[in-house]
Amino acid sequence: MKGNKKLLGDERRRQLLELLKNRNEPVTGNELARIANVSRQVIVGDITLLKARNEPIIATSQGYLFMQRAADAVQAERTVACSHSPDRSEEELNLLVDLGITVKDVKIEHPVYGDLMASIMVSNRREVQQFITKFNKTNASFLSELTEGIHLHTLLARSEQTLDEAAAALKEAGLLIQ
């Protein structure tokens, strides 16, 4: 994709998909817009259309990610229940990524809306810092604030042993609900 020629419709979406497939890290909507020489809103529409075609693209706090590449390295997945105040969120995420865990998402059970889920997709301290910085800059609230700190995380790892270590570390830190 070239940044100086405006790409149209299906050709742009095909090239966006190829770019996402070939990246190992998330790509922001602004970066995709710059590359395709269109607005970010056009990119949001393109991503929505690609998802409607069952392309495994997710929106993370760091940008868009094509999931096939990330899933290749994952051999184990587990959901854990945690509870803590918002000021311990960074501690919780760093504890997990330091063990080689990818924190896929956060889920809560809302009394009116039912299950609410948001993608996180952090795998290292740099991504955790970017995630926390976004919350601080926007004054956004964590989903867990709607449930007095109670939430679920889907954890991805290379082995069940790593997931066991993560659960033990969360327990020791007083973050795991038994």
For the chain, what is the largest distance between any 2 Cα atoms, rounded to a whole number of angstroms?
A: 56
Supply the Cα-derived Rg of the chain in whole angstroms.
18
SS3 at position 152: strand
Structure tokens at 94: 């760093």
> Exposed (0-12), middle (13-18) or buried (19+): which is 150, by Cβ within 10 Å?
middle
Note the pLDDT of residue 70. 47
Q: How many CB atoms lie within 10 A of CB 27?
A: 18
Q: How far apart, in whole angstroms, are the C-alpha atoms of residue 58 and residue 52?
A: 12
Question: Using one digit for the tens of pLDDT, what is the confidence trace for 29-77?
Answer: 999 999 998 999 999 999 988 988 888 888 877 888 887 644 455 689 9
Note the pLDDT of residue 17. 92
Task: Return the residue matching tokens 């809560």.
Answer: 108
Q: List, in order, residues 6 or more apart from 68 with CB less than 8 Å away.
A: 21, 56
For the question of whether the overall pTM of this predicted structure is more than 0.95, the answer is: no
Question: Using one digit for the tens of pLDDT, what is the confidence trace for 101-148?
Answer: 999 999 999 889 899 999 898 889 999 999 999 989 999 999 999 999
- Please give the domain boundaries of the chain with CATH numbers for all domains: 9-69 (1.10.10.10), 74-172 (3.30.1340.20)
What is the identity of the amino acid at 168?
A: A
E strand intervals along 46-113:
57-60, 63-66, 76-83, 102-110
Q: How far apart, in whole angstroms, are the C-alpha atoms of residue 115 and residue 45?
A: 25
Which region, left, alpha or beta, applies to residue 16 given φ > 0 means left and ψ of -120 to 50 means alpha? alpha
Note the pLDDT of residue 108. 95
> Exposed (0-12), middle (13-18) or buried (19+): which is 85, by Cβ within 10 Å?
exposed
